[in-house]
Amino acid sequence: MSHTAASLREQFPLLAAAPELHYLDSAATAQIHSAALDAVIKHETTSRANVMRGTYRLAEAADLAYDRARQSAARFLNAGSADEIVFTSGATASLNLVAHAFGSTLNAGDRVLISVAEHHSNFVPWQMLRDRCGIELALIPVDADGRLDLARLAELMGGRCCLVAVTQCSNVTGAWTDVAAIVAAARKAGARVLLDGAQAVQHGPQDVRAMDIDFYAFSGHKCFGPGGVGVLWGRADALAQMPPFLGGGGMIAGVTPEKSTWAAAPQRFEAGTPPIAQAVGLAAALDWMMTLDWAAIREREAALCRRLIEGLVGIPGLRLLGPQQGQRAPIVSFDIPGLHPHDICQVLDSQNLALRGGHHCAQPLLTALGAETCTRASIALYNDEADIEALLAGLDRALRELA
């Protein structure tokens, strides 16, 4: 099977229909793969029914499809059991679920450790928990390249650290987190570890057991699946200790006028009608991803990232945010003083280049790096050299027009 960028691009309906488009915003939303789109359409036209408790054939088909989707997510993450997979509406919902459910087991004075590099989805919920319950919230700083500075990690955990919740990969700098060092320190402190994998999953399957973490969150739209669906993986023992986040149908064992009791995980955390068709589509995307040669794809993505950085460093006045060397994800952000990223992105859009400008829901990180906003290009498996060269040429034109 060919895994060239051109052959992969043809498998994405929007990109196949728009050969002139240079799509470099996959960190915000990756394009949906044809297998995922087909799976959603097939489910909605042949098996659309609600899940759980239906006794007719259509409902049973929906149950089977939803169960298979949970199994696919478990395989993609190398989870110990499909019952460790909770479907949500996205990574934001998954992170909020942990902040509320696990957070409700914490007491005033207990500590949660996050980092300055977090997306707001893994920052704001912990601030809200602090304000609501009186927990201590500590921050891992970043170095000049935006990498987590772990020099004071043990000190920052303090005496009552219960959870370390950090990004696996920055959505601004592309810097990877040293997960092994985080986990080792957390285990010594008796703390659990949550990893926000939203920016990692589009670059290949993950192994939550090998990482020895406790929670993992990601969104379907980041890894070539539909929007409106996400995954929270949690160790079985961690999920069992957590009360539900939302109440309603599907998450109960029983209800009386006096008291309700809860179903076991994962149903305990899936109140109401879940994103059934979206989960089915996500499963198709994950199954497809698991057939790919990820070593070759990552090598190509890294080469494109290097070429982009080489081209950007030669632009007068431009400042790269993030590491220029070493292992990093193919996410490249830059700041050009005097030019707003929105203006840059609009000029690029006129040249069929799709990039994102703004604070990227990471204001604490940008502040730490001495910037308010930046322009971001993010590379995925369907990008090639033509996309990079078009961007560099487009930037040259944008700088001339905006000067």
Active site residues: 361
Taking the alpha carbons at both ends of the chain, their separation in whole angstroms is 47
Distance of alpha carbon 260 from alpha carbon 352, whole angstroms: 55
Our measurement of the distance from residue 326's CA atom to the centroid of its chain's CA atoms, rounded to an integer in Å, reads 22
Q: Angle at CA 332, nearest 5°, toward 112 and 35?
A: 85
CA-to-CA separations, 255 to 249, 258, 350, in angstroms, rounded: 10, 8, 58
Determine whether 254 is exposed, middle or buried from the number of CB atoms within 10 Å of its CB (0-12, 13-18, 19+).
Answer: exposed
Distance of alpha carbon 55 from alpha carbon 39, whole angstroms: 23
Contacts of 67 (CB under 8 A, 6+ apart): 82
Q: Are strands 215-219 and 192-196 parallel, antiparallel or unpaired?
A: parallel
CA dihedral 275, 281, 284, 285 (to 10 degrees): -100
What does the radius of gyration of the chain's CA atoms come to, in whole angstroms?
22
Q: What six digits make up the tokens of 155?
A: 């000190």
Q: What six digits make up the tokens of 236?
A: 């079985």
- The answer to whether 194 and 87 are in contact (CB under 8 A) is no
Distance of alpha carbon 250 from alpha carbon 273, whole angstroms: 8
Distance of alpha carbon 163 from alpha carbon 300, whole angstroms: 36
Q: Give the Cβ contact number of residue 9 at 10 Å.
A: 21
| Coil, strand or helix at 147 | coil
Bridge partners, 262 (sequence order) = 252
